[in-house]
Homo-oligomer: A and B are copies of this chain.
């Protein structure tokens, strides 16, 4: 999923392309995607795009004072078209969740792959009405986010740093990928307890957090939407690189998996005595 640097780049990209345009259509490909009921999508039609911003991992399109806010979640993405498809989007099994059109014929689609439909859009008068935005923690790239502020945050949370970095209500915008990267740069275990870090470790983590994100924002900046995903992946040192070589020391990059769900069955009763493959353990079963 896109995190702070890519969401910032997407917001910048959209701002540059939609400046001066007027919304001419908002169509839903999935009823699930829109989490608000009033105002309806039609309320945006005819409104000028007054600005595009980022709030944590949310993108905020200010359309004449009414805001279209969206969060791309795990498998969501934005696809820009200078010439938007003429086809009216209809709710169904399409991977396109939402389509927006502008008065010069351009537009964008929000797409979502996979079965877990988490992409979320909101149409609100005030971005504070979006639950995930109302509870966002500070932006780690803001001037006010000093080392002292960060030290106070770490000191007040008895939780693992990996979880703290990813918790949007503690720090806005960092997800699974950049938290892996930041911890690798800081040379800290993901399971280290935030409140027990010493002053030197706090400085290392603060520096790694700011530099990693600032570098990623600079790399993503100005790239079109369709190149951002590959650029993010290419820039990763350990995230998504299980089994590859650590660029720092040459050791192998390791993985910890979190089994969020499981099923139980009886091989004799249900599968003719054959154990089913388990992504995590099947290599040991063979």
Chain A residues numbered 241-274 whose CB sits less than 8 Å from any CB in chain B: 241-242, 246, 248-249, 251-271
Q: Is A240 an interface residue (CB 8 A)?
A: yes
Q: Is A211 an interface residue (CB 8 A)?
A: no
Interfacial chain B residues near A115, Cβ < 8 Å? 163, 167
Determine if A32 and B270 form an interchain contact, defined as CB atoms under 8 angstroms apart.
no
Per-position 1/0 for A106-126, Cβ under 8 A of B: 000000000100000000100
Determine if B262 and A241 form an interchain contact, defined as CB atoms under 8 angstroms apart.
no
CB distance from A272 to the nearest CB of B (A): 8
Determine if A276 and B190 form an interchain contact, defined as CB atoms under 8 angstroms apart.
yes
How would you classify the secondary structure of chain A's contact residues: helix, strand, loop or mixed?
Answer: mixed
Interfacial chain B residues near A275, Cβ < 8 Å? 254
Determine if B37 and A263 form an interchain contact, defined as CB atoms under 8 angstroms apart.
no
A241, B262: Cα distance in complex, Å: 11
Determine if B31 and A263 form an interchain contact, defined as CB atoms under 8 angstroms apart.
no
Q: Is A239 an interface residue (CB 8 A)?
A: yes
Chain A, interface size category, equals 35 or more
Determine if A266 and B280 form an interchain contact, defined as CB atoms under 8 angstroms apart.
no
Determine if B284 and A256 form an interchain contact, defined as CB atoms under 8 angstroms apart.
no
Q: Is A233 an interface residue (CB 8 A)?
A: no
Q: Is A200 an interface residue (CB 8 A)?
A: no
Q: Is A134 an interface residue (CB 8 A)?
A: yes
Interfacial chain B residues near A81, Cβ < 8 Å? none
Interfacial chain B residues near A134, Cβ < 8 Å? 31
Contact of A256 among B34, B37, B180, B263 (CB under 8 A): B263
Interfacial chain B residues near A138, Cβ < 8 Å? none
A266, B239: Cα distance in complex, Å: 10
Determine if B32 and A276 form an interchain contact, defined as CB atoms under 8 angstroms apart.
no
Determine if A267 and B279 form an interchain contact, defined as CB atoms under 8 angstroms apart.
no
Q: Is A85 an interface residue (CB 8 A)?
A: no
